[in-house]
Amino acid sequence: MPFIADVHYFEHTSKTLSRPPLILLHGAGGFHLSWPPHLRRIPSSAVYAPDLPGHGQSPGDGRLMIEQYAEDMERFLHTLGLSNAVIAGYSMGSAIALMLALKHPARVRGLVLLSGGPRLSVSPVIKEGLSKPETFLSTVQLINDYSFDSSASPRLKELSTQRMAGTRQIVLYNDFLASDGFDVTDRLGEIKVPTLIICGEHDRMTPLRNSEILHTGIRNSRLEIVENAGHMAILERPDVITNLIAGFLDEFPPLV
């Protein structure tokens, strides 16, 4: 898989393109494999799933501000030669997508905001736990315990915990600091592009009320609630999420 602008990324381009390009921005401590494979290979579109700086195979220690990640992604789009794309973000990735739409609106054709909100306040317990090597792993376990619906399989929870625990401590800690400093509540009215908001019914990390605030503030938006899913809805209900995003892409004029 290639690098562009110091960003490692996954790319899948269908032979026939009718849907707009899709950029997938993972959450805190994630990387491109955080997205289910059939979404990364959604038909009739060019799909790009970058590893944010410091994540996966991209160098660095992550960023301390969501604005910095948004600038990284603007450079990524520019270097790819994409004038604009539909930007889909999960959790912290949704914050990056929102910031990109606010700072570089011409780059964003549409938004998909999963498990997000207009602000992403982080519990002091999580910040404190991630800051120390001796409590890092137990805090990762705590995060994952709160991120899944009670119906999720133990194996899925275990795999998610192992993957997050493989993130370097400084990177995950910085991600949660960046998320904690994010707040665009007063700017939602500036977003004009079509927006799909998706939230797990039982999300305890970014509860449904956060998605409802997004829906109220972004005029051209709709809210979809995924049943029997928590914060990790993309892993718990990948088929549902993929179908929702595919249907959203179909609402854009076909590429010619």
35 to 15, 50, 109, 128, 189: CA distances (angstroms): 21, 11, 21, 28, 29
3-class secondary structure, 105: helix
Residues in the chain: 256
Q: Please, which pLDDT band fits residue 256 given cuts at 50, 70 and 90? A: low
Question: Coil, strand or helix: which one is 123?
Answer: coil
Tokens representing residue 154 in the block? 């133990």
pLDDT of residue 1: 64
What is the average pLDDT across 67-88? 96
What is the per-residue pLDDT for 3?
84
> For the segment 141-176, what is each residue's pLDDT rounded down to a tens digit?
999 999 999 999 999 999 999 999 999 999 999 999
Pick the CATH number of 3-249 from 3.90.1150.10, 3.30.540.10, 3.40.50.300, 3.40.50.1820: 3.40.50.1820
57-61: list long-range contacts, CB under 8 Å, 24+ apart: 57/1, 57/3, 57/8, 57/31, 58/3, 58/6, 58/7, 58/8, 59/6, 60/6, 61/168, 61/170, 61/171, 61/174
